[in-house]
Each structure stands twice: as C-alpha cells, then as structure tokens.
A and B are shown apart, each in its own frame.
Chain A
C-alpha cells in the first residue's frame, strides 16, 4: 500500500462541499477513484472542480474547507 497525494491544479480558495448545505464531496475513509471530484477551487470569480488522479481510499485532507491554497499544494492523501 502506498500513499499518494492529490494536488491543487490552481491557486485560490479550496472548498470540500458543492454548496454550504451539502455534504462533503469525499469524507475520510471513503473510496476515491480516478476522475472523482474531491473539491472545488474558487479563483477569478469562478469555481473549478478538482478531480482525483489516483484510485484508493481517502486517508485525510491536508487543507481545511475554505482555506487558501496555492497551485501544486497537496490537498488530500489517498492510500492505493
């Protein structure tokens, strides 16, 4: 088993939920497959889906909901 990280493709604000009332896209312990949306990054007045590029189980998130991120920052650990 190896642990991999999903990186933010963009700088901006990271959101774990599609909207404040909705549940998180991915919770810790849940399975996560390539292409699955794990959160949103808001930048330049628009929201961009962040998709997983690994298959496995979510170990933990490395940034909080609504936290500022830079491009290339690790967002989530996944165990393959």
Chain B
C-alpha cells in the first residue's frame, strides 16, 4: 500500500490520458480534462506521460503516504502542503512514509492533477485506467475516491529530481474572460445569421452544473433558429435534429438557451443540434473554468484550429525537452 485517502475532496478520481476507440459504442474517452497538466505532472517526476494520477476538482484530497515517494501537482493554483509545510505547484517534491499531503483553497483554475512516482496501479479497462464514474468503469472500482480508500503505486526505478519545474510561461490557465475558440459547423445553418453572430459577441457564464460530462454556460441571448418543418425522426423543438453523433468538444444548445460543451465523459450521440466544436487545443482550458466565470467563444476556421494545435504540441515538446 502506498497512499491512504483521509479526505477525498469533492470528486477526486484516478485519471490518465483516456480511453479512445470506444466512443462509437457509447463509451466516452474519459481521462484528464486538462491533459497538458496531467502529462506535465507525470513528466515532472519521471513517470510516463500516460501513467495514472489523480484529478481533483475545486477541492484537494488529504492523503497519507505509507511509503517514500515523489509528487508533482499541476493544473489549477491550489497550494499543496506536506505535513502543513507549503510546496509549489508545477514542481516536483519528495514525500516520506507517514507524511500527509493536503491542499489549501483553490485560488485559480478548477482542477489539480496529482502525479505520484510510478503511477497509480488500478486495473486497465479497455486500454485505460481512467475513471468513468457515470458508467462505473475504470479507476478505483469505477468511482470517485472516498475516505478510507487505499491506492497502490507501481514500483519505479526512476529517481525523480527534487525541484524540477515547468516554467510559468509554459503553464496555461484561462484568462478573464476566458476565451474559448470554436469552429462553427455541423448544424450552424440552423441559426439565423444575427443569432449566430450574437453567440460569439455575448459574454457567457459557466453554470454550476458544469462537470466532466459537459460544461454548461448561461447568460447569453437565446438562439434564434431558421424556421423549418422538423424532419421525420427529429423532436418538435427547433433545437432538435434527427439523432446524430456528438463529437468531443461539440456545443449543443437544448431549446436554444444554454450551450453545453461536451467533455471527456460525454454521451456520444443524441437529438440536439450542435452549433460548432471547441478546438482540441482549448479543451484543456475548459477543464480549468470555475462556475460563474465569464467566457467568450471565439470563431476560428480550420487553418487557425490546426495552427493552434501545432502551437500546443510545440509547448508540450518544450516541456518534454526541459524535463527529460
């Protein structure tokens, strides 16, 4: 045994980089909502990027270590403490058998990623250790952690370096208002021109219902739809379509009022129109949005989306180079 969970926080779960390949069967990709932070946490202590760690939202867990280990905490700004002594985020630090890791209040962002030397040893389910709590799949018994849980880690021959750090300019948290880039598409034609441009001009606010399944926003203008006779198989609301696949990052707007961005634990299909898709390089940012945060959606085209992805990959490669 390596770690005993004394307090579990709000919804702390075992996550890795996810479970791609089964979404067409209704099993979501799961994994860390902020994958850059998850990768960086692992790299900081010499783990594989794909090793399993913990994702904690809004509130950190309290964990007692029963073996000497190394830890790195990335993502949101939430100060870690070892037996009450402060430690830096985005920086590796050792922890000894008998010591307790705890956290201060959240200051910025929404989710921390806790990597532990060797990675967390839970069974691999469909190619991943990620928890999909809604489907009771993966992680520790398919659920979020509870007080009293015990986690094992893999033995590792790697000797992590104390004080390895990701420079501040390579860390990434949303601004205020957060700017989330979107490629209009799929069912964009369902909106009137005026309504479509209002969507990108409005300031939206993250709703309290935002979670790993989807991030809901409110506060902007209700959408106006182009009139049509609903096709056979579609529901009667103008926001309904004939059932279709829901991509990761797609934005559905049930009844045209509150946009929902589907995230790692989303359902894979249904009957709501999608006005567009958040570009892959900005999905990490959504995982760091707190409720009530102001957000603007910014329209981009495919070229801009691909160049944003290249930029993110370049940043990740820089972190890999610095830490390897």
Chain A residues engaging chain B, CB cutoff 8 angstroms: 7, 9-13, 42-45, 48, 68, 70-72
Further 7 A-B residue pairs, CB within 8 A, beyond A13-B208, A44-B10: A7-B105, A11-B291, A43-B10, A44-B57, A45-B209, A71-B58, A71-B107
Chain A residues with CB under 8 Å of B59's CB are: 9-10, 71
Is B317 interfacial (CB-CB < 8 Å)?
no
Give the CA-CA distance A70 to B291 in the complex, in Å. Answer: 8
Q: Given A9-B59, A10-B59, A11-B58, verify A43-B208 contact (CB < 8 Å).
A: yes
Contacts of A7 in B (CB 8 A): 105
CA–CA, A44 and B105, complex, Å: 17
Contact with A along B283-299 (1 / 0, CB 8 A): 00000001110000000
B3 interface residue (CB < 8 Å to A): no
Closest to A72 in B: B105
Contact with A along B263-298 (1 / 0, CB 8 A): 000000000000000000000000000111000000
Q: Give the residue of A9, A45, A70, A72 whose beta carbon is less than 8 angstroms from that of B292.
A: A70
Judge if B106 is at the interface, Cβ distance under 8 Å. Answer: yes
Question: Given the complex of chains A and B, what is the CA–CA distance between A2 and B208 in angstroms?
Answer: 34
Chain A residues in 8 Å Cβ range of B107:
71-72
A10 to B208, CA, bound (A): 11
Q: In the complex the two chains form, is B209's CB within 8 Å of A12's CB?
A: no
Known: A71-B105, A71-B106, A72-B106. A10 touches B58 (CB 8 A): yes
Contact of A43 with B291 in the complex, beta carbons under 8 Å: yes
A42 touches B292 (CB 8 A): no
Q: Is B210 an interface residue (CB 8 A)?
A: yes
> What are 9 residue pairs bridging A and B, where the CB atoms are less than 8 Å apart in the complex?
A7-B105, A9-B59, A10-B59, A10-B106, A12-B291, A13-B291, A44-B210, A71-B107, A72-B106
Interface Cβ pair total, 8 Å cutoff:
46
Nearest opposing residue in chain A for B290, CB measure = A11
Nearest 4 A/B pairs, CB to CB: A71-B106, A72-B105, A68-B292, A11-B290
B211 at interface, CB cutoff 8 A:
yes
Q: Find chain A residues with CB under 8 A from B208 CB.
A: 12-13, 42-45
**How many of chain B's residues have a CB under 8 angstroms from any CB in A?**
16
In the complex, A71 Cα to B208 Cα: how many Å? 13
Q: Roughly how many angstroms separate A56 CA and B37 CA in the complex, as a whole number?
A: 41
* Interface assignment of B151: CB less than 8 Å from any CB of chain A: no
Kindly identify which residue among B11, B209, B211, B292 contacts A11, using a CB–CB cutoff of 8 Å.
B292
Given contacts A43-B291, A45-B209, contact A9 B11 (CB under 8 A): no
Write the B202-226 contact mask toward A (1 if CB under 8 angstroms, else 0).
0000001111000000000000000
- Residue of A13, A42, A71 near B290 (CB, 8 A) is A71
A7 to B104, CA, bound (A): 11
* Residue of A whose beta carbon sits closest to that of B11: A44
Least CB separation from B76: chain A residue? A71
A45 partner residues in chain B, CB cutoff 8 A:
208-209, 211
| 0/1 interface trace, chain B 85-116, chain A, CB 8 Å (1 if under) | 00000000000000000000111001000000
Closest chain B residue to A67 by CB distance?
B292
Chain B residues 3-19 with CB under 8 Å of chain A are 10-11
The complex places the Cα of A20 from the Cα of B211 at a distance, in Å, of 25
